[in-house]
């Protein structure tokens, strides 16, 4: 056999032996995943893979601190994206031959991009200029671009970038980085906890803030109820003076607060009557029905026995006392006796009513300044201030 054939046959026999020796043995059972499944470039399933608009990521604007440089006034669309301080520019196209000038403008190259935030673990759809996009790539990501401590960078962010910066700074990962930097600089622990609280402290603060908001809502509702109570008390006090039940508005206020529950019962009956009239189709229909019943031979006692009985009892009492003047005198004496008994008694309800009346009187007389309570102004100061316009001009005052 020629040497060339011998070499060829020898080279062909070796791989057969090698192939027999490299036959894999049977693999034992294992729970590890094959190496091919651990490809880092392979897309994972699940997770937050979609893009989000900034309005779905940012919280209530009231929680975000104000942007120190204010919104842009010339190129206002830059307030809703990352423009890096770029804006529209105006100039001329100059012909090289005739030197003719043609007015033109240049706009920033604005792109709509989905940029991933590592801290937020979300893709954010932003309006970003090509120049800012290059800077983001050079900085190493959106978070690094937003968190850079530089006055020039803060000016470039604009209101939208400032809001995103604040949102990123609230994440636990960024807070941990800031705490580590502060500890490396040697800051005191209480300063670190105050400026960069840990997640547990943030949860406690959030719960306390929610509780405070709930309490504030309850207090606001109670304040409105108190103001309404005082407004009705002023109206009742002037009505008592007009009727001659009391001699002064001060006594009328005291009597009004003492009889507040009684007036609430009367108001409840009036509301029930109004609901009844509304169900019948309105006041005209109610009056029409009353007239039809009277024409049919009925009287007030058959139509409204309670009203007829109350009217008869009042007429009998007036006749017994000797007339309307005597009735008014008895009513005046009863009111004075009621106020005197309340002042001398230790009843908690009576003392609270007199305290409210005195509070309103002091505010009206200037003993207590109404401007001491901005926003959370004292309720009686508010009703006294309102009272200066006069409740006599109101209906049924």
pLDDT digits (tens, 9 = 90+) for 49-84: 788 999 999 988 888 999 999 999 999 999 999 999
> Which helix (DSSP H) or strand (DSSP E) does residue 110 occupy?
strand 110-117
Output phi, psi for 201, to 5 deg.
-65, -35
Other beta carbons less than 10 A from residue 58's beta carbon: 16
pLDDT band per the 50, 70, 90 thresholds, residue 368: low
Q: Which residues have a Cβ under 8 Å from the Cβ of 165 and sit 6 or more positions away? A: 146, 147, 157
Greater confidence, 94 or 393? 94
Give the max Cα distance, the chain.
158
Output phi, psi for 306, to 5 deg.
-65, -45
Q: What is the pLDDT of residues 256-270, one digit of tens each?
A: 888 878 877 887 878
Q: Is 223 exposed, middle or buried (0-12, 13-18, 19+ CB in 10 A)?
A: middle
Percentage of the chain lying above the pLDDT 70 cut: 77
All domains of the chain, ordered by start, with CATH? Answer: 51-195 (2.30.170.40), 215-387 (no CATH)
pLDDT band per the 50, 70, 90 thresholds, residue 129: very high
Q: What is the pLDDT of residues 107-122, one digit of tens each?
A: 999 999 999 999 999 9
pLDDT band per the 50, 70, 90 thresholds, residue 376: very low
Mean pLDDT across the chain: 78
CA distance 31 to 37: 13
Per DSSP, 102 falls in state E
């Amino acid at each position: 056999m020629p040497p060339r054939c011998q070499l060829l046959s020898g080279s062909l026999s070796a791989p057969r032996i090698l192939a027999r020796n490299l036959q894999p043995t049977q693999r034992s059972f294992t729970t590890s995943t094959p190496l091919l499944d651990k490809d880092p470039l392979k897309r994972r399933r699940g997770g937050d893979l979609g893009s989000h608009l900034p309005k779905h990521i940012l919280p209530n604007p009231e929680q975000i601190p104000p942007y120190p440089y204010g919104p842009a006034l010339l190129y206002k669309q830059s307030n809703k994206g990352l423009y890096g301080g770029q804006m529209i520019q105006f100039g001329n196209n100059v012909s090289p031959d005739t030197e003719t000038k043609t007015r033109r403008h240049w706009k920033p190259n604005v792109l709509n991009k989905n940029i991933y935030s590592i801290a937020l673990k979300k893709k954010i759809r932003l309006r970003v200029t090509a120049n800012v996009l290059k800077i983001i790539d050079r900085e190493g990501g959106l978070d690094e671009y937003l968190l850079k401590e530089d006055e020039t960078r803060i000016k470039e962010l604009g209101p939208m970038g400032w809001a995103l910066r604040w949102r990123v700074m609230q994440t636990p990962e960024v807070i941990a980085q800031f705490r580590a930097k502060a500890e490396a600089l040697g800051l005191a622990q209480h300063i670190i906890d105050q400026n960069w609280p840990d997640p547990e402290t943030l949860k406690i603060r959030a719960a306390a803030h929610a509780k405070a908001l709930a309490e504030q809502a309850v207090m606001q509702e109670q304040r409105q109820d108190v103001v309404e109570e005082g407004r009705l008390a002023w109206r009742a006090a002037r009505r008592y003076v007009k009727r001659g039940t009391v001699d002064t508005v001060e006594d009328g206020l005291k009597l009004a607060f003492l009889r507040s529950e009684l007036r609430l019962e009367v108001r409840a009956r009036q509301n029930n009557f109004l609901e009844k009239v509304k169900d019948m189709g309105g006041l005209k229909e109610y009056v029409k029905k009353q007239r039809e019943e009277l024409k049919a031979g009925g009287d007030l006692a058959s139509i409204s026995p309670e009203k007829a009985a109350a009217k008869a009892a009042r007429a009998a009492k007036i006749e017994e006392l000797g007339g309307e003047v005597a009735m008014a005198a008895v009513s005046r004496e009863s009111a004075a006796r009621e106020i005197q008994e309340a002042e001398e008694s230790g009843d908690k309800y009576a003392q609270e009513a007199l305290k409210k009346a005195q509070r309103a009187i002091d505010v009206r007389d200037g003993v207590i300044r109404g401007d001491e309570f901005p926003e959370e102004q004292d309720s009686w100061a508010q009703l006294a201030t309102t009272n200066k316009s006069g409740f006599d001009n109101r209906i049924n005052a």
